[in-house]
Structure 1
Amino acid sequence: MTQHQDRWGLPLGIGAYLFWGGMPLFFPLLEPAGAVEIVAHRIVWSLLFCLIVLTALRQLAEFWAALRTPRVLGTFTVAAALIVVNWGVYVYAVLSGRVLDAALGYFINPIVTVLLGVLVLRERLRPVQWLAIGFGVASVVVLSTGLGGLPWISLCLAFSFGLYGLVKNRVGRTVAALPGLAVETVVATPFALAYLVWLGDSGTFTGHGPGHSLLLVSTGVVTALPLLLFGAAARRLPLSVVGMLQYLAPVLQFLVGVLVFHEHMPPARWAGFFLVWVALVLLTVDGIRRSRRAPRPGLS
């Protein structure tokens, strides 16, 4: 790894997660558009932005190859359905004043990923990982009893993104992030366009001035740009550093929810977040210790 790569890896990774962490500040600017309309625009303009960037980077061949491979296309179709659900629930959470529920979902996500490894991939977990899952389950129980209902937004975000990651892992070595996102948006675009046509005059694209229209168009850049930054960072940084950076986005979302939107934090919610944070500390420490014990490539 060159010094140039070392120098740029961390800023690129931080930039990606700053984008993702700051998204709760962006989506309210798109009102009065609703969550479904915003997601539909996000799909359409993301596809256009991806195609422009793929053309500029001369990566269209990989995109077309994925579209022409039935197995890969089928996998990306499932991924598209999961990420559209994730986007829809996330935008709804932000617009309905539930940013903290969204942040909790992405804090829970690493725990869900470990759990899916057991349920789907039949992985054997270490005792520390089981303990972390226990703290995660305890968090959901505390929040459900203390706040009078299951934290469905958090769980939906955590499981939809966890399953999305699991599906993408099946093709991650053969299709890069940007061509993959382009394929996913191609699959979803007909449905998005059909919804926008159905909205017609009741939609907000043309009725609230050019500034609002430009903001809706910019959802394509807001969606794809952090992915580009993350892809560049992931090639330059050790996996352990990338794993640590993933907590930056929900931390920022949590701070936005508390400090900017002043969402209520009763004792039960503090307790739920605390239990999740304990679980994440356990997973992080265990991951770091395992990576240090792993033999280095090329050494006997």
Structure 2
Amino acid sequence: MKQGVLYAAAAYLMWGLLPIYWKVFEKMGAWEILAHRVFWSAVFVVAILQITGKLRNLRKSVSGKKTWATLFISSLIISGNWLIFIWAVNNDHVLESSLGYYINPLLSVLFGVLFLKERLRAGQWIAIGLAAVGVTVMTINYGKVPWVAISLALTFALYGLAKKKVQLESMMSLAWETLFIAPIALVYLLTLQVNGQETVTLLKGWQMALLASAGVATALPLYWFARAAKRLPLSTVGFIQYLSPTISLLLAVFLFHEPFTSTHWLSFGFIWSALLVFSISSLRKQTPQVQQPHAPQPNLALKKKA
């Protein structure tokens, strides 16, 4: 449990700071950045497996059509999540992306109920309702659905659900997810090169080095998230995710100077209220399990020994 919390905190801290990283490449197109991200992630993960002596077991780590299908679907889902996030950061939608990741914990909890048969208290259902009101407020006031926020929340909640379904060692799972998409990414990059449409050449040397490090920036938090997902309930993983959107929100307002209007205050207010209600309800649910009686029961002990 403690290891799971540490892994989740490290993952979400790094994810919260990623907008700074992707802003370095804002002269590039989102698809090209995504292709580089996928390719270098695959290279990094394979290198780690080779160093740790696990690469020879990669093919044997997966068996069964259901596992193969789940891994492939999860790779598509997380790739879509990456693309949307990169586009949002480089098109000044960091604030909306933070809204999406505030919604995601509640969506993860809802998926836990729908697909994993987890049970919620009344307060937790109220929290989900408040979050829905927050999204509705922003939709009505701006006249359009906050698709960046909803898409990010939906794709990452689905990815978290897929990780719970795959019974596979974390690094092996991450390796297959990147290797499925890496060939497509490489073909895309070569096509851009042949047609003279690549924008990576516009970068300076230090920027190219950072881009090649995208594998580290991508694989490490994903690996930590996978480790956390194996050790913690889906609802707990979602709770710790509050760290990531809070960092992104602060970056959007104070570093990237995106406007935070009265509509944002109202919409985020409903979301924050939802998270508060959900947190209180979750803590109250855990209280009876913590306060267990410690009175000695000699008769019961004797019976067990007998």
Q: Residue in 1 aligned with 2:241?
A: 246
Q: Which residue of 1 aligns with 2:154?
A: 159
Match of 1:55 in 2: 50
Corresponding residue of 2:174: 181
* Counterparts of 2:114 and 2:229, CA distance in 1: 27
Determine what percentage of the aligned residue pairs are the same residue: 38
1:147 aligns with 2:147: no
Gap runs ≥5 in structure 1 = none
Q: Tell me the secondary structure at the aligned position of residue 107 of structure 2.
A: helix
Query: Within 5 A, what are the aligned runs for 1:116-131?
Result: 116-121=111-116, 124-131=119-126
SS at match of 2:200: coil
Q: What is the one-letter code of the residue matched to 2:91?
A: S
**Alpha-carbon deviations, 1:216-264, whole Å to 9, x = none?**
2111010012234456677899999765532111100000001101111
Is 1:263–2:258 an aligned residue pair?
A: yes
Partner of 1:199: 192
* RMSD, aligned CA: 2.9
Once residues 164 and 243 of structure 1 are traced to their aligned partners in structure 2, the CA distance between those partners, rounded to angstroms, is 12
Cα 1:125/1:15, change in 2 over 3 Å: closer
Contact 2:106–2:238, Cα closer than 8 Å, also in 1: no
Question: Which ranges in structure 2 are unaligned for 5 or more consecutive residues?
Answer: 295-299, 301-306
Deviation at 1:62, TM superposition (A): 4.9
Residues paired across the two proteins, number: 292
Q: Which residue of 2 aligns with 1:108?
A: 103
For normalisation by structure 1, the TM-score amounts to 0.86
Q: Deviations over 1:168-223 (max 9, x none)?
A: 2101xx21222211101111112111211221131133453433322221110100
Give the TM-score, by structure 2 length: 0.85
Residue range with higher mean Cα deviation, 212-221 or 45-54: 212-221
Structure 2 Cα separation of the partners of residues 237 and 118 of structure 1: 15
1:238 and 1:89 map into 2 onto residues whose CA distance is 26
Q: Distance in 2 between matches of 1:84 and 1:45?
A: 13
Say which SS state the counterpart of residue 202 (structure 1) adopts: coil
Q: Alpha carbons of 1:116 and 1:191: their partners in 2 closer, same or farther (altered >3 Å)?
A: same
Residue 221 of structure 1, aligned match among 216, 234, 238: 216
Q: 1:21 aligns with which of 16, 40, 57?
A: 16
1:190 is matched with: 183
